[in-house]
Structure 1
Amino acid sequence: MKRMIAKVAGVSAAAMTMALVPLAGTSYAAGCSGSGCDNLGPVSQGCDADATTKASTINGNGFKAELRWSNACQAGWVRTTSPSGSQWWPRYGSIEKWLGAGTDFQRSLSVQFPYEAGTDWSNMLGSGSAYYRVCINDNGSVTCSNFW
């Protein structure tokens, strides 16, 4: 009888463990979609999992801004990269959402570049039909990517 109980307990424990472990390649649903992603974090919403770079710009001081886009979330954000060396004043990267390429500005979000070499990102703006671009504001000098 003790053997039977031990076997049943072992099988039950194995079955429970398998139920709790996700299968390899399992994808999780994004936490938001389109304008429902506005001002939400791409990592916290799972939107970074399928993100690709759609546009980018680098200014004369080596600061880089990339337009990151998630098809699953239908939303984008700016990822900023600072060059090596300490920065003396704040610089910002922004993502802009437009209804047309250069016409009918809708909204923008920005994030400060890291003071040391590294990356950071903004919250998202979403819409599958909008035009987007990213910009760098370096002490009043603005550099922007092409529209995507």
Structure 2
Amino acid sequence: MGWRVGYLAYPERLHGELMKVQDTIAICPSVIGQKAALAALGAGRSWVRVQVKGLAENRRIVRSAIEEALGSGSVVGGSGAIYFMIRLPVQDDLRVVEWLTAKHRVCVIPGSACGAPGMVRVGYANLETARCREASQRLSDGLKELAARGAAVLEPAPGT
């Protein structure tokens, strides 16, 4: 569910123990992810600040849209990640995802895929601010409809 690249600075005395841990990790970042990480490090802090500023604005936009629709208690997390988890007013997160995608043209991840049934995961990275505003409005509209009508919105129309 995303690209992760990291590194660790450590005292030499921990080298042997850390190599034991490293030897048990069967996966690694993709080559393109490693090259992107090196480029980001090479670009310096000013480039990183610009990227983080955009993320912070998207975070604010998305959180506001969710809270406008469902209230402040509906948003879980988000302080150390590039996504929020949202408590849904109905439990069938898979159906909610299908419905939001089909009716409101916004795609989120079912919480059950992340070990959190009854929730959805909403990412806000990799979006230009204008597109983030548009998607957040569609998400908010869908969540408001879901909150107002409950599971009834998930039922197919008669004759379909």
Shared fold (TM-score greater than 0.5)?
no
**Greater relative contact order (Cα < 8 A, sep 6+):** 1
Report the TM-score when normalising by structure 2. Answer: 0.28
Q: Looking at CA atoms only, which structure, 1 or 2, has the larger radius of gyration?
A: 1
More strand per residue: 1
Q: Which has the higher helix share?
A: 2
